[in-house]
């Protein structure tokens, strides 16, 4: 039996997502037996990017307004600069992301994705890594920022950049396979 057999994982992204940070974890979830689903602000397609260049488009499975945390076993937040900057301004996305923490479910965020975590008010007291330019934002929100390839804090997996994807994907699969983390739930509103 694969570690994620029967598990559904939400990937929350919109236009401007760093394509490799969507596709590599997506493939890792599938390879581990899980079922990934793309959740976004609007239905239709989202535009991936390879840094600043347009890449492929991806079909949205459901909107954040339609999505229910009870339907998923974990959450992955890919990066890119424009993607999380847009996501953090959408109330439905922020509510959906915060609900994973309230339920104690595993969350994995890479690169600039922790901006959405800051908006969801779930980083205070947590140890997190990210793209280095988010260091001050995370510290100002009460997080302890570290410069590591991958860091896990009570079911929250974070990494810095595409070069970290191997470690990020492995830890994300491991944490989602473990299921609910009580410490994840306890961190909300810390």
CA distances from 174 to 162, 168, 180 (A): 19, 10, 12
181 classed as catalytic? no
Q: Which of 51, 111, 151, 169 is catalytic?
A: 111
> How deeply is 146 buried, as exposed, middle or buried, from its count of CB atoms within 10 A (0-12, 13-18, 19+)?
middle
Query: Locate tokens 């997502």: which residue?
Result: 17
* Beta-carbon contacts of residue 142 (< 8 Å; ≥ 6 apart): 123, 124, 125, 190
Q: How many residues comprise the chain?
A: 190
Residue 176: left (phi > 0), alpha (psi -120 to 50), or beta? alpha
Query: What CA–CA distance (Å, rounded) separates 157 from 76?
Result: 9
111 classed as catalytic? yes
Sheet holding 45-50, edge to edge: 17-18, 45-50, 53-59
Residues carrying an active site annotation? 111-112
């Amino acid at each position: 039996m694969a570690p994620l057999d029967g598990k559904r994982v939400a990937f929350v992204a919109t236009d401007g997502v760093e394509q490799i940070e969507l596709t590599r974890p997506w493939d890792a979830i599938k390879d581990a037996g899980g079922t990934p689903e793309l959740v976004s602000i609007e239905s239709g397609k989202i535009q991936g990017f390879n840094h600043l260049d347009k890449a492929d488009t991806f079909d949205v499975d459901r909107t954040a307004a339609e999505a229910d945390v009870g339907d998923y076993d974990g959450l992955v937040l890919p990066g890119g600069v424009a993607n999380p900057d847009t996501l953090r301004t959408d109330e439905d996305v922020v509510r959906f992301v915060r609900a994973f923490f309230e339920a104690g479910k595993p969350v994995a965020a890479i690169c600039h994705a922790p901006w959405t975590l800051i908006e969801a008010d779930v980083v205070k007291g947590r140890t997190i890594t990210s793209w280095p330019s988010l260091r001050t934002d995370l510290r100002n929100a009460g997080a302890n920022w570290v410069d590591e390839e991958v860091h896990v804090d009570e079911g929250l997996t974070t990494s810095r950049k595409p070069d970290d994807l191997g470690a990020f994907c492995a830890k994300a699969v491991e944490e989602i396979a473990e299921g609910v983390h009580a410490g994840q739930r306890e961190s909300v509103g810390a």
